[in-house]
Amino acid sequence: MNIIWAIIQGIIQGATEFLPVSSSGHLAIISGLFGVDMGSGVLFEVLLHLGTMAAVCVVFWKDVKNLFFNGIGIIVDVFWNFITWIKRTFARSDEEYRRVITSGYRKFAALIIITSIPTAVIGFIISRLLKHYTSRLIVPGIWLLLTALILYFIDGNKGGDKKVKATTFKDAALVGVAQGVAVLPGISRSGATIAMGLMRGFSRGYVVKYSFLASLPAIVGANLLELITGDKSGITGGYIICCLVGMIVAGLVGYFCIKWMISFVKRSEYRYFAFYCAAVGVIAIVASFITGR
């Protein structure tokens, strides 16, 4: 891998991670069409995602900070209540339970946690079951067509007026299901989660914030798993430089894509992305039959 290729992958990752067009689908198609090995190593992939994660943190810094500390508070209080239950059950204690949801950010953090559970379970199952069936061009092509249908279906959908207070844990779980299914190459994570949020009545401003913030635990979890299980050989000084360049490019491109998406979602004109995904999907499927890849 060289600097130019690192920059190209950084641009692809930064743009397609947040635009509703599927980053994994594009990488798989480029790899299949040009016979390029997109597997640039575990460290490179992790740092690319770290770059896009940093972009989310910069844009939504206040929310990320508050969600982090309130999430820790929820975990502490749930553990405390579990200990209290043991004391009340077996030691006849009259110690009171702590109230877990005490503020808007506590509710928001709880919703993100609920979203992350089905994402982790479904994403893990799909990635293991279909690990050996995603190398052909026809696979991301088919899923990109499905993404196109989803985007076309929600085109013009103005959503509802739900924000944190009105969002239910069922809403959060369904967004998590959509995010988990987006492990499939060609299914857009942001497209799937925004579509589900709009169908559940999220407001347009809230749905894009929720979609991007919900991606943070998924990115962290997936990359920790990759670091633990992936091959970490072949790391050199030049490789590390390429990794850092790719990370910076992905972060910068991702930042501007997030800012653009925030304004774009308010207009709710998804048909243009639907047409694009459909075109790319058809190209991938036709190329699969022509090349046999």
The model's pTM: 0.86
pLDDT digits (tens, 9 = 90+) for 133-171: 656 788 889 999 999 999 998 887 777 899 999 999 999
Collect all residues with Cβ–Cβ distance below 8 Å to 73 and sequence separation of at least 6: 106, 109
Question: What is the count of structural domains for the chain?
Answer: 1
At residue 202, φ and ψ (nearest 5 deg) are -65, 145
| pLDDT in the model for residue 66 | 94
pLDDT digits (tens, 9 = 90+) for 69-78: 999 999 999 9
Q: At 114, which helix (H) or strand (E)? A: helix 104-129
pLDDT digits (tens, 9 = 90+) for 187-237: 988 889 999 999 999 998 899 899 999 989 888 877 777 666 655 555 667
Range of the domain at 122: 3-291
* Angle at 167 (CA atoms; ends 164, 173), nearest 5 degrees: 120
* Angle at 262 (CA atoms; ends 259, 264), nearest 5 degrees: 110
| Helix, strand or coil, per DSSP, at residue 202 | strand
Extract the tokens encoding 238. 């030049």
CA pair distance 128, 84, nearest whole angstrom = 38
Least confident of 58-62, 66-70, 95-99, 221-225: 221-225
